[in-house]
């Protein structure tokens, strides 16, 4: 307590030292507690009028909790222990409940993470605007006009017809635009955007970010932008604060933090993201994971100490003060100048593709619905797709949601039947008989996207990873031996064999998921978005694992992903799908260097660059 008060005396200012009166939001020394645990510790940052601050952190870092503290919407048992949250100079924590509620919506607006579920499905878009505007004192006869204006500003086509629509009639991107319009229509001073683009496609994300920036420029509104994407925040925001286990570890100008991170965690985070330009290199995968709430009280000093490669004994003793190092604030005793390097696994980039392809897909189409006497319109999910995979080759399929990439993968695995077309394994068409099914599964295996769904919660891990041995009738002891090898292959200790999936973290579950696919020693593994939904440091671990397995087993990979950086990092060849069709394919380097199809160009332009020089989002997107 004494300690935290003492630290509050010297309030860290925004690096550009803007005068206090010009600050829309100033948080200083904010500490949130549950029981004896400080979940947020000494959070301090400020947003000048019209400025943008990016709050970056992996899941569990406490970034959403800051937004909830501002909204006075902390979960039960969480209390603000000390600190101030000042909105234009007034401390929000001192306001009575009613006065505070008056600010929400009117002066502070929120853009939520899940656009589809944030709009009430039983009211029309118009009704929800009406309620919001009337509550905030808009005259009754102006409501309709203001709504249409707000929607038109979001570049939504035909805003008038939109008024009578329900949220489920709109796409995710449209819902998010409606929510942004809703947040901005009362002309607030501060908008808190909690991962507003996390559930959207990359091209939609670029649109949304561009609209947000435009709104901000037009009205001079300050934005608190909560995200887990370092590069996105760096390009969109003026300042960024990196959050780790409830502490600000690094705070400074966005481009400085992106191009020259000083805190070992920021360096790790930026090195964990696959590079998008220049030479491909190994990823930095930080060991371990972020401490859980239960583990926090035992960390007396720096909370990153358990994962830090350059930690000294002093790091574990006292909380390091946040101090100015080379232009931005860093909470570290041993700040780094150079990115960490670690022993990299053999990095295979080029493969000999002269061998005969192990798998060829020839003119495969899939049509859902339709047919005689069916009321539904037929939907063409995949149209005339052809591809081939050589032994040991890594091929990536990219495309937005609904582009048919997952359907194509399921057809190759045999989980869906193609409407037309042929799939050949070793040059021979795969038939429908049980023998042919066995031939297929002994050569091709599939890693499902969501390990929570793909791992039977009632099986122990040793039984899960050796599931393919069940069919061949191996004994229990043989299976345990095999399980130890497989768990070792994916970097899990043998003791894990006795655990249930519910006892693992997300990254560990995904490793088990991968281990099971490898059990049958397949020649091709199909991976459906296995790295998405994981935090950057965990994703880096999984990608490094896949590369190591490739070097060891010469397995081919068909990787389905919406993340171009991941595909570029991992794959020799890339296939771009758009609305069920393969619109472009070729060697990864060629496609990235000179994309031909307009959609591929959009896709590449939509990725925030890791370089500070490249401006993003691009001005023109089709």
Partner 1 sequence: MVGQPPSGRLNLLPAFRLRFTNRTRIVLGAAILGLVVFAALAAPLIAPNDPNAQDLLYTLLPPVWAGGDWDFPLGTDGLGRCVLSRVIYGARIALLVGTIAPIGAMVIGTFIAIIAAYFGGYINTLVSRAVDIWMSFPPVVMALILMISLEHGLKNVILAIVVVDWTRFCRLVRGETITLMKRDYIPAARIAGARHIKVILLELLPGLFPLLVTLMTIEIGIAIIIESVLSFVGISMAPHIPTWGGMVADGMAALYQQPVSLITPVLAIILTVLGANMLGEGLRRALDPKLITRANQV
Residues that bind partner 1 in the complex, under the rule CB under 8 A: 413, 415, 438, 441-442, 445-446, 448-450, 453-458, 467-468, 470-472, 500, 502-503, 516, 519-520
Comparing CB distances to partner 1, the nearer of 361 and 518 is 518
CB nearer to partner 1: give 237 or 413.
413
Q: Convert 560-584 to b/e letters by CB count within 10 Å (16 or more is b).
A: bbbbbbbbbbbbbbbbbbbebbbbb
DSSP category for residue 169: G
Report CA-CA distances (Å) from 145 to 148, 168, 180.
Answer: 5, 24, 17
List 584's β-bridge partners, or say none: 576
Q: How far is the CB of 467 from partner 1 (least distance, A)?
A: 4
Minimum distance from residue 307 beta carbon to partner 1 (Å): 20
Q: How many CB atoms lie within 10 A of CB 405?
A: 29
Residue with smaller CB distance to partner 1, 102 or 292: 292
Least CB distance from residue 417 to partner 1, whole Å? 13
Q: How far is the CB of 80 from partner 1 (least distance, A)?
A: 28
> Which of 410, 404, 444 lies closest to 424 in space, CA to CA?
444
**Closest CB to partner 1 among 136 and 467?**
467
d(CA 99, CA 202): 39
Structure tokens at 215: 């709104």
* Cβ distance to partner 1 smaller for residue 368 or 500: 500
Taking alpha carbons only, the member of 43, 49, 134 closest to residue 93 is: 43
CB 441 to partner 1: min, Å: 5
Nearer to partner 1, 157 or 374 (CB): 374
Residue by residue, what is the 3-state secondary structure of 420-438? EEEEEECCEECCCCHHHHH
Three-state SS sequence of 3-43: HHHHHHHCCCCCCCCCCHHHEEEEEEEEEEEECCEEEEEEE
Which residue number, 558 or 607, has a Cβ lying nearer to partner 1? 558
Least separation in angstroms between CB 400 and partner 1: 22
Fill in the DSSP letter of residue 154: T
Cα atoms in the 13 Å half-sphere on the side-chain side of 532: 20
Which residue has 């990153």 as its token pair?
304
Nearer to partner 1 among residue 377 and residue 458 (C-beta)? 458
69/412 with CB nearer partner 1: 412
Minimum distance, C-beta of residue 368 to partner 1, in the bound complex (Å): 15
Contact at 8 Å (CB) between 32 and 9? no
Indicate the SS3 state at residue 399: coil
Least spacing, CB of residue 174 vs partner 1, in Å: 27
Which runs of consecutive H residues, i.e. helices, occur in 154-201?
159-162, 172-184
Alpha carbons within 13 A on the beta-carbon side of 517: 29
Give the Cα separation of 357 and 388 in Å (integer): 6
d(CA 247, CA 259): 21
Distance of closest approach, residue 233 Cβ to partner 1, in angstroms: 32
Give least dist CB 516 to partner 1, A: 7
- Cα dihedral 391, 392, 398, 403, rounded to 10, equals 40
Q: Which DSSP category does 79 fall into?
A: E
CB of 298 to partner 1, least distance (A): 16
Report the candidate in 491, 493, 512 with the shortest Cα–Cα distance to residue 501: 512
Is 230 or 514 the residue whose CB approaches partner 1 more closely? Answer: 514
CA angle 156/161/166 to nearest 5° reads 85
Min dist. Cβ of residue 187 to partner 1 (A): 44
Q: Which is nearer to partner 1, 297 or 326 (CB)?
A: 297
What does the angle CA 214 – CA 219 – CA 221 come to, to the nearest 5 degrees?
A: 90
| Minimum CB–partner distance for residue 444 and partner 1 (Å) | 8
Nearer to partner 1 among residue 207 and residue 289 (C-beta): 289
Residues 6+ apart with CB under 8 A from 104: 71, 110
CB of 41 to partner 1, least distance (A): 25
Between 205 and 513, CB nearer to partner 1: 513
268 three-class SS: helix
**Do residues 293 and 37 lie in contact, with contact meaning Cβ atoms separated by under 8 Å?**
yes
Nearer Cβ to partner 1 (78/448): 448
Q: How far is CA 460 from the centre of its chain?
A: 29
Does residue 311 contact residue 376 with C-beta atoms inside 8 Å? no
């Amino acid at each position: 307590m004494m300690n935290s008060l003492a630290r509050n005396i010297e309030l860290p200012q925004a690096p550009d030292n803007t005068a206090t009166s010009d600050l829309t939001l100033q948080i200083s020394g904010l500490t949130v507690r549950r029981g004896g645990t400080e979940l947020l510790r000494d959070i301090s940052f400020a947003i000048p009028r019209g400025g943008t601050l990016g709050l970056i952190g992996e899941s569990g870092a406490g970034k959403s909790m800051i937004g909830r503290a501002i909204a006075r919407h902390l979960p039960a048992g969480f209390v603000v222990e000390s600190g101030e949250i000042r909105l234009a100079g007034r401390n929000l924590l001192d306001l009575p409940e009613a006065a505070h509620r008056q600010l929400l919506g009117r002066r502070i607006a929120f853009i939520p993470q899940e656009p589809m579920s944030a709009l009430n499905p039983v009211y029309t878009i118009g009704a929800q605007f009406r309620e919001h505007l009337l509550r905030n004192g808009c005259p009754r006869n102006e409501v309709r006009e203001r709504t249409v204006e707000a929607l038109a500003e979001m570049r939504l086509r035909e805003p008038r017809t939109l008024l009578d629509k329900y949220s489920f009639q709109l796409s995710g991107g449209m819902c998010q635009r409606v929510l942004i319009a809703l947040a901005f229509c009362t002309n607030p001073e501060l908008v808190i955007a909690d991962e507003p683009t996390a559930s959207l496609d990359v091209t939609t994300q670029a649109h949304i970010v561009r609209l947000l920036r435009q709104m901000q420029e037009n009205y001079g509104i300050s934005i608190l932008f909560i995200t887990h994407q370092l590069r996105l925040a760096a390009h969109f925001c003026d300042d960024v604060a990196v959050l780790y286990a409830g502490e600000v570890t690094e705070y400074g100008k966005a481009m400085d933090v992106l191009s020259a991170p000083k805190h070992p965690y920021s360096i790790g985070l930026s090195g964990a993201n696959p590079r998008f330009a220049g030479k491909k290199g190994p990823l930095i995968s930080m060991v371990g994971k972020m401490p859980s709430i239960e583990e926090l009280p035992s960390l007396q000093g720096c909370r990153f100490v358990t994962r830090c490669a350059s930690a000294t004994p002093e790091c574990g003793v006292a909380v390091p003060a946040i101090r100015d190092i080379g232009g931005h604030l860093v909470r570290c005793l041993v700040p780094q100048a150079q990115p960490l390097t670690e022993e990299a696994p053999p990095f295979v980039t080029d493969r000999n593709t002269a061998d005969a392809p192990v798998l060829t897909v020839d003119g495969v189409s899939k049509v859902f619905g339709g047919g005689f006497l069916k009321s539904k319109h037929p939907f063409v999910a995949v149209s005339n797709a052809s591809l081939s995979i050589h032994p040991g080759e890594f091929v990536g399929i990219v495309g937005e949601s609904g582009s048919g990439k997952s359907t194509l993968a399921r057809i190759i695995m045999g989980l869906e039947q193609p409407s037309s077309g042929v799939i050949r394994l070793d040059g021979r068409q795969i038939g429908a008989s049980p023998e042919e099914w066995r031939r297929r599964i002994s050569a091709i295996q599939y890693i499902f996207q969501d390990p929570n769904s793909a791992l039977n919660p009632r099986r122990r891990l040793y039984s899960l990873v050796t599931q393919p041995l069940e069919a061949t009738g191996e004994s229990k002891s043989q299976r345990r031996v095999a399980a130890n090898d497989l768990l070792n292959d994916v970097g899990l200790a043998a003791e894990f064999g006795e655990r249930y999936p519910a006892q693992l973290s997300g990254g560990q579950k995904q490793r088990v998921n991968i281990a099971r696919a490898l059990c049958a020693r397949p020649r091709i593994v199909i991976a459906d978005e296995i790295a998405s939904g994981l935090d950057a440091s965990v994703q880096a671990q999984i990608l490094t694992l896949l590369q190591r397995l490739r070097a060891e087993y010469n397995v081919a990979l068909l990787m389905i992903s919406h993340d171009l950086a991941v595909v570029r990092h991992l794959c020799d060849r890339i296939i771009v799908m758009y609305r069920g069709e393969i619109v472009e394919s070729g060697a990864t380097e060629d496609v990235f260097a000179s994309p031909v199809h307009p959609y591929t160009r959009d896709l590449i332009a939509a990725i925030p660059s890791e370089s500070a020089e490249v401006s993003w989002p691009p001005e023109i997107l089709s």
